[in-house]
Structure 1
Amino acid sequence: MSSKKRIAANKIPGQRKPEKTVGNLGKVLPNSGNSADRICWRFTHVDHDGPWGLAKLSPADMEYLLKKLADVEKQTVREIFNQSADLGKHYEAHSLPNRIAQERLVELQLSDMTRISRLRFKGKERLFGFLVDNVFHVVWWDPEHEIWPSPKKNT
């Protein structure tokens, strides 16, 4: 029996050909069709040793933060930073008002970055990092609004 006939003989009636997955994540991963437009996260530059590192979070706080990140990543960068200043905002990194934050950027070898971005969740909670295209490189979790305090009361 030739190899072509052997392959045809092994085919199960009604069985569909498996769909290719390379470059076609939408077929494998639901709701991933517009992933290039939506914000996503990188954790390479997290400040583990500073006062706003993620390692200091309790398991409950980490679960809360991850749920917030999952909720935010449903949006595009444009929706977050251009249509809602409440959620996303950019600052000039050299203007950081917190001296400790400035020193941490030097220690992390990130002091040459010109713009730092933040996401505001609720009340005082902020996530700081660097936005490159649609990738938010997380640096600090600031639950008490210490990195870039607002001149307004109760914010």
Structure 2
Amino acid sequence: MNFSDNQPMRGDFRLEVRRNGVLEQVFEEKNLIVNGAKDQLARLVGGSGANRQITQIGFGIGAAAASPGNTALTSAYTKPVTSVEYPTTGQVRFNWTLSTAEANGKSITEFGLVCADGTLFSRKVRAPIQKESDLSLSGAWTIIF
């Protein structure tokens, strides 16, 4: 008997950019699950689960391409995710927001999901967003197993 599941773990990143409450841009793309995620998941399954769960979204200014060895965002502003959902078997979705009062003056080029112990779980790099007080960001980050 031969069993095969050749779908690697991946992330789907969705970003909505609003200026003065009006939707300006929607950005959807796959993202990188970094090596830190593999260690977190292995330890969680092995019973060492303290602080392994994703609890935060990070916004950074790094421009280097995402790679499996990434461990942190550059000059990150982090905050708790808004909510967690389980849309279907083998998926978890982290909803998040960045209000008009947060991270103003930052040129956001990278996003990351961060575990309670500070481990970077996944990272996404994109063109800069000049964050000002008239701009709000929201989105969802779905991890698919």
TM-score normalised according to structure 2 size: 0.30
Pick the structure with more strand per residue.
2
Larger Rg: 1
Q: Which of structures 1 and 2 has the larger relative contact order (alpha carbons within 8 angstroms, sep 6+)?
A: 2
TM-score normalised according to structure 1 size: 0.29
